[in-house]
Structure 1
Amino acid sequence: MKFKPLAFIINIAITLGVGALGGWATAQSVKIWYPTLNKPSFNPPNWLFAPVWTSLYILIGIAAYLVWIRRDKIVHFPRTVAIYLIQLILNLAWSFIFFYLHEIGFAMAEIILLLIIIVINASMFYKINKWAGLLFIPYILWVSFASFLTYNIFILN
């Protein structure tokens, strides 16, 4: 397949845009509310989250591009896009639920649903393009860790 630079940039811009919206929802709470919470000893330092999420959003965007360039060969392309968009919406929703609404319990339930949809999305992408599916592995690992972290913050607070 021939490289399509505009499609590549758009796919990455979409995921980085989701990240930017999540960052907006998070910004004030990270300074004011989040420091007041009891957190487990394995809680990463705040500076780590932005580079990790930026890297993950870029990987997700690349994976989406790898699927997009094969869209003509995908029997269930609308379903694939729907799962991908649901995953992005749930990703964004978690930031609003946890950081903007301060609903830790609801965020815990939502992140479990997010993780399930991410795994489904990765599996669908893998069937279309092996690399697209494999690019989701760091995302799955990070959201698994974030789920465990959210659970512990919920228990401690």
Structure 2
Amino acid sequence: MEFIKVDGRINKKRLALSILVPVVGGSITGWLANRNAQDKYKKLKQPSFAPPAAVFPIVWTSLYTIMGIAKYRADEKISHTKEEAQVIPLYELQLGLNFLWSFLFFRWDLRGTALIEMSAMLALIALTAYEFQKVDNTAGALMVPYIGWVTFALGLNYAVWKLNK
């Protein structure tokens, strides 16, 4: 739990908020955009590397928690500085794109658009990780699993789009 401490202390309220926003936001998005998604997902032609649908909520809840901790650490390091103007809006923008993707892919069946949107999202995630790393090495490192998963998801999105044109 040491990685949660910033300068030897924990701001429990800010930490909770930083984790709850992506976790609850992701859950609400999942509920709104992905209703009947498991059925839709099963009906789609899948590439050989596609994980079972049950894997996604587990992975996303874990990633949302980790990225919330990263945001908390960066936020604690930059509070009341000019750096906040650059770092936090990037995080919020990539999170908004993250939530939008489910609607594009599942709700509106715009898989090609979702692919383009995810490419932009991945670039913003990488930029956010870079900016986080500049203010806190741990915050930047915590974004790496998220980058890895979204890179995998981008390949999966592409394969599903190609197989189901």
The TM-score range, normalised by the shorter chain, is: over 0.9
Does the CA-based 8 Å contact 1:108-1:147 persist in structure 2? yes
Return the offset for 1:79.
1.9
Q: Structure 1 residue 64 and structure 2 residue 71: aligned?
A: yes
Residue equivalent to 1:40? 47
Gaps of 5+ in 1: none
Q: Determine which of 26, 38, 43 is the counterpart of 2:34.
A: 26
For the residue of structure 2 that corresponds to 1:42, the secondary structure is coil
Select between 133-142 and 74-83 the one with higher mean Cα deviation. Answer: 74-83
Identity %: 35
TM-score normalised by length of structure 2 = 0.90
Gaps of 5+ in 2: 1-6
Residue equivalent to 1:93? 100
Residue equivalent to 1:156? 163
Kindly tell me the number of residue pairs found equivalent between the two proteins: 156
TM-score normalised by length of structure 1 = 0.95
Q: Determine which of 127, 131, 135 is the counterpart of 1:124.
A: 131
Return the offset for 1:75.
2.7
Return the offset for 1:28.
1.6
Return the offset for 1:35.
1.7
Query: How far apart, CA to CA, are the structure 2 residues paired with 1:34 and 1:81?
Result: 33
Return the offset for 1:73.
6.2
Superposed structure 1 runs of 4+ greater than 6 Å apart: none
For the residue of structure 1 that corresponds to 2:109, the secondary structure is coil
